[in-house]
Amino acid sequence: MSEPFYITTAIHYPNGKPHIGHAYETIAADVMARFQRLQGREVRFQTGTDEHGLKMAQKARDLDLTPRALADEMSSHFKNLFDKLNISYDRYIRTTEDVHHRASQAIWQAMEANGDLYLDRYEGWYSIRDEAYYDQSELVDGEGGSKLSPQGTPVEWTVEESWFFRLSKYQDKLLALYNDNPDFIRPESRRNEVMRFVEGGLRDLSVSRTSFDWGVKVPGQNDHVMYVWVDALTNYLTGLGYPDKTDDMAKFWPADIHLIGKDIIRFHTVYWPAFLMSADIPVPKQVFGHGFLLNRGQKESKSLGNVTDPHDLVDQFGVDVLRYFLLREFAFGQDGSYSAEAIVTRSNAELANSYGNLVQRVLSFIAKNCDGSFTASAPVLEADQLLRDQVNKACREELPAAFEKLSFSLGLEAWMQAVFACNAYVDEQAPWALRKTDPERMKRVLATLCGCIRDLTIAVSPVVPEASDKILDALCVAGDDRNYAALNTDPALGEIRVDSPTPAFPRLEMPKTEQA
C-alpha cells in the first residue's frame, strides 16, 4: 500500500505581488511532492494565501480597496505564478473561504474547552509587518530613538482587550517534543535556536484583536477577531476537511512536512504545536525552515530598487532552468544568492552543455544512423556495466537519499557526476567510429546510453518536469514507466525506439545588461 504524504508551504500574504522568495519555497515543495509521487506515495500538496490581519487591512486602506478586493486580486497573481512555475498543488487554499472560518472557530473552541483561553488586557509592542508581538527585551534601537523588532520592522505600542492563549503551560511539553523527535525542527541550526527560545520561558500569547475586524470572528464574541496567526496556521487542517472526521484527515494528518522560511519558524514550532496539543490534535512530523534568497547578496526591497518579478525570470530563462538553478546552486537550509549571470553560467554548464548535450548527441545519432530504432544483441562489456552501476547508484540511492532530507543540491550534485560519466563514456566508446568498425557493438553502446538517459531523466524529473517529459517522449518511454520503480529495469531494453529530439536546454546568452 502506498504511504500517504502531506506537504505544505507557508501560505503567502497577498498584500502585494509574489516575489522570488515565494517562488523559491513553492518550487522546493513542488519538487518534494513530485519526488514522493514518483516513489509511489499518495501525495497531498497544499499552498495558498493568508488573507486576514492588520497588514492586509492597512494595505487595502492605502489603496482605497476593500481587503477582500485586494485579496482576490493578489491571490490570483500567486495562483497564476504557481501555475506558470508548474507547481503541482492539490489544494490552493484561501483563508477567506467559509470552510476555513469554520475550521479556525473549531480549533478555537477546542482550545477554549481545554481551559487554555482567557480574556485579559494586552499591553505591549506589535509589528504589523511581521504580524507579531514582541517583548520589550527583544527590541532594538532604530533611527531617531525609534524601536524596531529583532527583524528590523517598526513596532507600535498596543493596548486592547484580548483573549490569551496559555502558552506558558506548554513549555515542558514543547521541550519534550523537541527532545523526543530530533527531526521535528530541521535543519539543526533552527532547532537549536527554537530550543534556546523555549528554554528561556514562554509568556501567554495574545490571540485576538478588537481594533479592526478583518479576520475570523472569535466564536460568541463578535467584537473580537482572531490573531491572524491562529487562523493562518489552521489552514493546514482546513485543507483536509477539519473539523469533520474526514478520510483525508485520517489519511494525511499529521502532516509530513511544513515547509517554511526561517523567519516564521517560531510560529510553526512553538505556537502551532502548542495550539494542536491544546486542541488534542497530533502535531506535524516535521517543520523545515529553509534559508532566504538574496539578490546579489542583498535582500530585495523597493528602496534598493532590486525587486525581481519571478515572471520575468521565467520568461528570460525558462521554468525548468529557474527550478534547477534554485535547488542546485546553494544548500536549501542556508541563505543563497542569485543573479542573472549565475543562472546562465549554471544552466549552460550543467543543463545545456552536459545533460542536454548528452541527450541531444545520443538521440540525434540514433535518429540519423539507426532510423530511430534498433535492438542491441552484442554482449554487455565491463565499461557498459560500470556506467549503468554509477547511474543506478546516483538515481536510486544518492539522489533519493538527499532529496528525502531536502538536501536538493547534494542530490543534484551526485546526479550531475553521473551525467559527466555518461559524456565521458560517449567520448571513449566513440559510437561514430564503431558505426564503421563494429555496428553491433555500436548498438550495445547506444542501448546502454539510452538506459542511462532514461534513468537520469526520470530521477531528475521532479526538478525539470517539462524537459523530462520532452526527453522521455523522445525515448518513447510509456507514461506508466515514468517513476522510480522503473529505474534500472531491463538494461538491454529490448527494441529501442527514438523520435527526433528537439534540444531540451538551449544554451543561454549572458544578458547584455549584466555583462558590463
Binding residues vs ligand ME8 (CB under 6 A): 10-13, 21-22, 24-25, 50, 232-233, 235, 260-261, 263-264, 292-293
Residue 307 or 421 with smaller CB distance to ligand ME8: 307
Residue 288 or 505 with smaller CB distance to ligand ME8: 288
Which ranges of 89-170 would DSSP assign to H, the alpha helix?
98-113
What would the grid cell of residue 95 be? Answer: 483563508
> How near is the Cβ of 219 to ligand ME8 at its closest, in Å?
20
Between CA 396 and CA 458 the distance in angstroms is: 10
- Residue 23's nearest CA partner among 308, 407, 255, 302 is 308
| Helices 310-317, 319-328: inter-axial angle, 10-degree rounding | 110
Between CA 84 and CA 99 the distance in angstroms is: 27
What would the grid cell of residue 353 be? Answer: 552543455
Helix (H) or strand (E) holding 323: helix 319-328
Residue 72 or 263 with smaller CB distance to ligand ME8: 263
Q: Is 15 left (phi over 0), alpha (psi -120 to 50) or beta?
A: alpha
Q: Which residue is nearest to ligand ME8 (CB)?
A: 261
> How near is the Cβ of 345 to ligand ME8 at its closest, in Å?
21
> How near is the Cβ of 12 to ligand ME8 at its closest, in Å?
4
Q: Where are the beta strands (DSSP E) in 20-68?
A: 42-49
> How near is the Cβ of 184 to ligand ME8 at its closest, in Å?
17
Residue 23 or 456 with smaller CB distance to ligand ME8: 23
Q: Are 451 and 491 in contact (CB under 8 A)?
A: yes
Residue 50 or 384 with smaller CB distance to ligand ME8: 50
Between CA 372 and CA 459 the distance in angstroms is: 24
Residue 236 or 484 with smaller CB distance to ligand ME8: 236
> How near is the Cβ of 11 to ligand ME8 at its closest, in Å?
5
Residue 99 or 383 with smaller CB distance to ligand ME8: 99
Residue 12 or 266 with smaller CB distance to ligand ME8: 12
> How near is the Cβ of 290 to ligand ME8 at its closest, in Å?
7
> How near is the Cβ of 402 to ligand ME8 at its closest, in Å?
20
- Residue 52's nearest CA partner among 227, 243, 211, 242 is 227
> How near is the Cβ of 117 to ligand ME8 at its closest, in Å?
20
Between CA 504 and CA 68 the distance in angstroms is: 42
CA distance to 56, 159, 295, 339, 511, per residue, from 515 (Å): 40, 54, 16, 12, 7
Q: Are 450 and 496 in contact (CB under 8 A)?
A: yes
| Helices 382-393, 408-429: inter-axial angle, 10-degree rounding | 170
Residue 100 or 224 with smaller CB distance to ligand ME8: 100
What would the grid cell of residue 405 be? Answer: 532530507
Residue 37 or 268 with smaller CB distance to ligand ME8: 268
> How near is the Cβ of 319 to ligand ME8 at its closest, in Å?
18
Between CA 367 and CA 154 the distance in angstroms is: 63
Strand partners, 48: 93
Between CA 244 and CA 106 the distance in angstroms is: 10
> How near is the Cβ of 333 to ligand ME8 at its closest, in Å?
12
